[in-house]
Amino acid sequence: MNGETQPVASDEKITVSIAGGSGYAGGEVLRILLGHPRVDVKQVTSERLAGKYVTSAHPNLRKRCGLQFCSINDLQPCDLIIMALPHGEGLKHIERLMTLAAGLIDLSADFRLKDPSVYPRWYGFEHPLPDYLKRFVYGVPELHREEIRGATLVCGAGCFATATILALRPIFKHGLARDDAAIVDGKLASSGGGREPGITSHHPERSGGIRPHEPTMHRHTAEVVQEAGVNRVHLTTTSVDAVRGILVTCHVFVRDGVTEKDVWRAYRQEYGEEPFVRIVKERHGPYRYPDPRILAGSNFCDIGFELDPGSNRLVIMSAIDNLVKGAAGNGVQAMNLMFGFDETEGLGFPGLHP
């Protein structure tokens, strides 16, 4: 893998393979790519299900996909490999996979952090390939669009990190915050825990619950500090009784004299032309602020805010589908940029209501 990925002629398609296609994120990548007019899905891997049809893991794709799972060791050359492997697994295969494709997108956390010294704190291991970290572009197009264009290596962002970074970055970039700190409360649906069952995701244990997940030290904190322009982030996460979705509520104290018009201006300047970020702040109705329920299956991030003039506390709400904008959709958006496609191609689904 050398140089840059090259734009593809308007009448050509690229071949894409998915490494780790039996999980929820991999299944979403496959669902999106099957409807993408510029992509042919070549192979999908699963060690556990090798030889079985993809629809055995993703029954929603019946009559849409006739592929069988293969082993990652049987992947053939293609234009792009999207890795949806568990954290740490991609590190074992990265060097070989780079010889098979012109581009690679890794949706795991293996290459998200630029400083190798922080991996032991947040992920509990010394990074075995520290030289690769600066070669990967952090895959949030709203922040790194020009770097992603033509890149060969892109890493996906964490789901909590994506929602939080998009919420906070305009406030700190435009100097509206009083200091360099933010308190973030995040709520996550059960699919964020992945497909492998465990006691915390077992339905009788989770159903009806609102369970503290990571009161402190959530690993996505490191990404927010790296990308949002804020040095102190206090992130608490809670598991809620839903299948899809993330809602983060951020608390930032703004400088004296900052008004709602100033906040509007900052978000409009940053996101007014963004295809997948919507500012949601209505006067009436049940959806006057962001709600992940209506984002299911979509690549949108909805952001809303409220300024308390009595305390200068700005409350920012950000909602995404954790499997799409928080993983697969963000990856496909990056893929479109890498190969010179329209950035929105294959990602037009608006979400469901009710």
Q: For 147-206, how does the pLDDT look when each residue is reduced to its tens digit (9 = 90+)? A: 999 999 999 999 999 999 999 999 999 999 999 999 999 999 999 888 877 787 778 888
Helix axes 141-148, 329-338, angle to 10 degrees: 30
What pLDDT was estimated at residue 193?
84
User: What residue type is assigned to position 301 of the chain?
Assistant: C
- The label of the residue with tokens 């293609």 reads 78
**pLDDT(139) > 80:** yes
- Do 76 and 100 meet the contact criterion of CB atoms below 8 Å apart? yes
Query: How far, in whole angstroms, is CA 117 from its chain's centroid?
Result: 23
Task: Average the pLDDT over 62-91 and give the result.
Answer: 97
Quick: pLDDT tens for 232-279.
999 999 999 999 999 999 999 999 999 999 999 999 999 999 999 999
Please say whether the dihedral angle defined by the alpha carbons of residues 91, 96, 98 and 101, taken in this order, is positive or negative: negative
Which three-class secondary structure state does DSSP give residue 97? helix
68 phi-psi bin (left φ>0, alpha ψ -120 to 50, beta other): beta
Quick: pLDDT tens for 13-45.
999 999 999 999 999 999 999 999 999 999 999
Given 65, 78, 155, 159, which residue is catalytic?
A: 159
Q: Where are the alpha helices (DSSP H) in 207-328?
A: 221-227, 260-271
**What contacts 54, CB < 8 A, 6 or more positions away?**
21, 30, 44, 61, 65, 67, 68, 69
**pLDDT(2) > 70:** no
329 versus 199: which is more confidently predicted?
329
- Residue 58: pLDDT band (50, 70, 90) is very high
Side-chain-side CA neighbours of 332 within 13 Å: the count stands at 33
What pLDDT was estimated at residue 199?
82
Task: Average the pLDDT over 291-315 and give the result.
Answer: 97
% of the chain with per-residue pLDDT over 90: 92
**Strands of 57-188, DSSP E:** 69-70, 78-83, 101-106, 137-138, 153-155, 181-188
Quick: pLDDT tens for 85-104.
999 999 999 999 999 999 99
Q: For residue 51, how many other CB atoms are within 10 A of its CB?
A: 9
Residue 333 and residue 51: Cα distance in Å, rounded? 30
What pLDDT was estimated at residue 10?
77
**pLDDT, the chain, mean:** 96
Residue 301 appears among annotated catalytic residues: no
Task: Average the pLDDT over 126-142 and give the result.
Answer: 97
What pLDDT was estimated at residue 206?
84
What pLDDT was estimated at residue 291?
98
Largest CA distance in the chain: 64
